[in-house]
Structure 1
Amino acid sequence: VKTCPSTFADLRKPEYKGQVALNGDPTKSGSAFAGVYAAALANGGSFGDIQPGIDFFAELSKNGNFIPVESSATTIAKGQTPISLDWDFLNLGYADEFREKGADVDWRTAIPFDGSFAEYYANGVNKDAPHPAAARLWQEYVFSPEGQNIRLGAYARPVLMDAMEKDGTLDKAATEKLPTVEG
């Protein structure tokens, strides 16, 4: 891709014919579903109206820009999915993976601000687990500054990022590697 698209509107351009992919089927993949929701937000939809996102991908499919290939590090490296709508932390990790392997892939991550969408992972502890107290301790660790900074090191934005920044526990070097987020 000569010019990295920066908006959902850019993905309609003829120069991206046969290049736009999602990370899976939106009816089965959370990241692909989020891509459709983000497209809806970029095209006049809302969290109560995903139809503009469905219409957007139907348009991309009709004009040949969307390809029904599930994007992954492998398909990206092979050039099969030059544009992958996926979470920023995964795409940033792919770039590291390509550099570490010496792959001839210049992978960049852009966040389309016309359809910004965030989603957080949910965790739970089963009260009937063999050792529920151990599971609760694990949760405490995951949500501690140390646990959150480990996730940040893998480009996942901590749910407690603002609080950690205020109290000085946020890993500033890892934070500087993240792309800017608006909205």
Structure 2
Amino acid sequence: MSASEPTLQLWRTQARYNSWMNDNLFESCASLTDEQRKRNLGAFFASIHGTLNHLLLADRVWLGRIRGEPFAVTSLDQELYGDFDTLRHERQLTDASLTRLVAEFGCDDLARVVSYRRISGGEAKALPLPVLMTHLFNHQIHHRGQLTTLLSQLGVDYGATDLIAMPGELL
């Protein structure tokens, strides 16, 4: 095993965790009405729907940057999908895309630098891929934490969220 292999394995585990948690949270959110999901609960992206939408948007932005295929958006709160079922389906497609991407990474990718421009404009930026991947997974965890708080406020039991609670075949 090369010195880089543990990092690649970690990303693969994080991608599986991401997909598992997103599936669980969408299942929990499905028990709510559309009005409940879109109600302003005082979160950074206002609502459960707004937060789910932001997570999908951000993941697509970062995946596009990694692939060199920019995902065009105008703001971080731009609504991609107003319909919950469509948002859920697109989330599943994006999670599958992320899982495939990290499965394809090799040791050489750990030295990659990804160049991009912020959505708000400004000068070009560049991040080493390991820093970018850490940000991508950390960002997802951050906003899923917000989602669990919002679900709790509405009395929804969202289940276990720890990585070690993931089914063994995924871990």
Relative contact order: is structure 1 or structure 2 higher (C-alpha 8 Å, sep ≥ 6)? 2
Same fold (TM over 0.5): no
TM category, shorter: under 0.3
TM-score (norm 1): 0.24
TM-score (norm 2): 0.25
